[in-house]
Amino acid sequence: MFNAILLNKNEDGTTDARLTQLDEAQLPADGDVTIRVDYSTINFKDGLAITGKSPVVRKWPMIPGIDGAGEVVASNHPDWKPGDAVVLNGWGVGEAHMGCLAQRARLKGDWLIPLPDGMTTRTAMAIGTAGYTAMLCAMALQEQGVATDSGDILVTGASGGVGSVAIAILSGWGYRVVASTGKLAEADYLKALGAADIIDRTELSAPGKPLQKERWAGVIDSVGSHTLVNALAQTRYGGVVAACGLAQGLDLPGSVAPFILRGVRLIGIDSVMAPKARRIEAWKKLASDLDSAKLEKITHEISLAGALDKAGDILAGKVRGRLVVNVNA
């Protein structure tokens, strides 16, 4: 038996989320690797699943948790053997396949990557999907030719998981980062991560003109909607915007003006289905380039029961940085 958060759908369509005990026989039969989970996380998508605020879960019952790190205890996959340390991000886990907010998970070996050398499972989950997505965004800016002397980089949703790690990565690489946040009281925290300047998110969150004063050489946006549209409208000629989130909304209420008049490039960043080679590259960079002291400033450790308590807070924007779930606490 092992502890897990289990989600069930009530007759009225609401979600019942509770901490319970399960037997390994209840884990998915289509997985070929069983891991002992050391740590998981709670991300925005996990918050949606646990609260039922959005129809994230596509199969019931469900263990949420799109991230996990731990040790292989049984494997029918040629790439993995008992004792291997592994990391899991995405692939529909916690949505259509039972996830990692539990002490055990049975997953497909093709979804796993090796824990990077020198990294602990706790550190991997302090990074989690949010940090891994931030690295994919930062890599995209670099690969699209945004250099450290190109100009300021805007990071929206700065006090959240993606934003916090993005600031730490980019400042570590030598970029000048401007952080957009609705929590101006977090200015000292954001500057400690490497932000050179802070702006209020209200500067970006309302409808604006199709083209505005050129400010940004690059942008990492986890917010979407009007915020993304305004960021595009303020991006310099030939600049690059990496979009990875929808905290403000799924819509894109803008125009083609930034693309056809300034040559702005909008790059979509998907972390869920990213190829294995790309994942390994991103995680290697995280292991080598992310300042461990800055990561610790971002990280808060909670228990499985705590994950239930924090689900609503993460949706309400009340969580700063990253929540690491010690599933054995």
- For the stretch 131-163, pLDDT in tens is 999 999 999 999 999 999 999 999 999 999 999
Q: Does 90 lie in the same domain as 193?
A: no
Residues 188 and 309 grouped into a single domain: no
151 and 259 co-located in one domain: yes
Out of 229, 248, 268, pick the residue that ends a domain: 268
**Whether residue 215 is found in the same domain as residue 311:** no
CB atoms within 10 A of CB 277: 9
Name residues whose C-beta falls within 8 Å of residue 147's C-beta, 6 or more positions apart in sequence: none
**Statement to judge: residues 262 and 133 lie in one domain:** yes
Could you say which of 268, 287, 304 is where a domain stops?
Answer: 268
SS3 content of the chain, % helix, strand, coil (to 5): 35, 30, 40
Give alpha helix (H) positions in 8-120.
Answer: 44-51
63, 7 Cβ separation under 8 angstroms: yes
Instruction: Look up the CATH number of the domain holding residue 213.
Output: 3.40.50.720
Residues 188, 216, single domain; the answer is yes
Residue 98 and residue 147 in one domain: no
Residues 142 and 256 in one domain: yes
Residues 187 and 209 in one domain: yes
Q: Comparing C-alpha atoms, which of 149, 266, 168, 264 is closest to residue 212?
A: 264
Lowest mean pLDDT, pick from 57-66, 88-97, 316-325: 316-325
State pLDDT tens for residues 284-314. Answer: 999 999 999 999 999 999 999 999 999 999 8
CATH number at residue 95: 3.90.180.10
On whether residue 67 sits in a domain, the answer given is yes
Q: Is residue 45 part of a domain?
A: yes
Report if residue 121 sits inside a domain: no
Give the domain range for residue 87: 2-115+296-326
Q: Does 132 share its domain with 111?
A: no
- pLDDT band (50, 70, 90) for residue 318: confident
Structural domains of the chain, count: 2
What is the pLDDT averaged over residues 197-224? 97
Do 228 and 301 fall into the same domain? no
pTM of the complete model = 0.93
User: For residue 212, which of 191, 195, 224, 226 has the smallest C-alpha distance?
Assistant: 226
